[in-house]
Structure 1
Amino acid sequence: MIAELIRPSLLEFIKKRMPEWDGKGFICFDDLGEFRKDYVKEVLQDEIGELSALDHEVIESLQQHEILSSDISKQFETKLTFGERLSDRIASFGGSWKFLITFFSILVVWIIINGVLLMIHAFDPYPFILLNLILSCLAAVQAPVIMMSQNRVEARDRLRAENDYKVNLKAEL
């Protein structure tokens, strides 16, 4: 690469490291990549202090001209087990209007059948103790399923935030 095309701040950094080089002529891409990596590392250490593993990953990708952006959702979905996918589906159904309408309809039908139609021989007379037991069991099962799903959403968001940080840092550099 022609030295005149190199950014002035990087050119000064190279001259500090290689005082015998006059800053004219050519520099190979491998050496330029090494100098760029060292320059970015030095600038980040001056600004941030200690570099994290993510910062080192971004610096390496700069040297190797790698693309950092990726589809985190697709990567995350391939790692899910059957149970995790099932709990996500149950949680999404449990938080939908379809579930609320179905649930409310079942409650109304249960109360009508046991409170009005089968008043004398009801299988669950008022105060509907069997219905209360079923609702308690549903809540006991549904709460952990929703929490598992929320934990996976949080992990996916954390991966997405790390990816955004790496892409933004590389764009800044």
Structure 2
Amino acid sequence: MNRDTNKLLQSESEQLKKLQQIVKKSIEDEDLIIQNLLNPPKDILSRGQKISDKVARFGGSWAFIISFFVILILWILFNSLAPTKADFDPYPFILMNLILSCIAALQAPIIMMSQNRQEEKDRKRSENDYLINLKAELEIRALNQKIDLLLEEQIKVLFDSQAKQLEILKSIEKKLTNNK
């Protein structure tokens, strides 16, 4: 019995060592992912990038649309109703068209710069999502390894106990046949 107990204790010890190795490996695998998620690279914005963000934020707002519409109405009303000497842009409003074209020509690339920066932020977010999914996959893999190890050990114990039961049955059978 002492030999069997030592064997069982040794088996349990080996099983615990294997489980510890699985846990250690999964922690090492996850460490890099966690570091990347906790310490994302800082966004260092240049002055131009900050300005393009502000222009894009204002250019895509209702405040811009309403204020621009009000300015255009005032421009048209003043140049249509003012005396001939006071109007600076008479009817076909060539100066107004020139200003609108210039605003559109300048505003479009500035908004595109801001959108490119936003696209870069979205790409970084998707990389973080990928890392989180990878971390979950590693955890699932480690859990599967632990379950496989536990099942393997349980099957060994079951076979060992069946072998012992078989030996006991054989010894009982021997005693019965000797007694007859």
* TM-score normalised over the length of structure 1: 0.62
Structure 2 gaps, min length 5:
1-9, 139-180
Deviates more, 1:23-32 or 1:146-155: 23-32
CA distance in 1, matches of 2:123, 2:55: 23
1:112 corresponds in structure 2 to: 77
Name the larger-Rg structure. Answer: 2
Q: Does 1:133 align with 2:98?
A: yes
Once the two structures are superposed, what CA deviation does each residue of 1:40-87 show, in whole Å capped at 9, x if it has no partner?
Answer: xxxxxxxxxxxxxxxxxxx96426684553485xx45x3111110110
Superposition pairs of residues 71-110 of structure 1, within 5 angstroms = 75-76=41-42, 78-110=43-75
Cα separation, partners in 2 of 1:32 and 1:111, compared to 1, 3 Å: same
> 1:169 offset after TM fit, Å?
1.4
Q: Which SS does the other structure have where 1:169 is aligned? A: helix
Moved over 4 A (4+): 28-34
Deviates more, 1:138-147 or 1:60-69: 60-69
Q: Which SS does the other structure have where 2:17 is aligned? A: coil
Superposition pairs of residues 1-173 of structure 1, within 5 angstroms = 24-25=13-14, 26-27=16-17, 32=22, 36=25, 61-62=29-30, 66-70=34-38, 75-76=41-42, 78-119=43-84, 121-173=86-138
Equivalenced residue count is 128
Percent identity for Structure 1 against Structure 2: 48
* TM-score normalised over the length of structure 2: 0.60
Structure of higher RCO (CA pairs closer than 8 Å, 6+ residues apart): 2
> 1:172 offset after TM fit, Å?
2.3
| Structure with more helix by fraction | 2
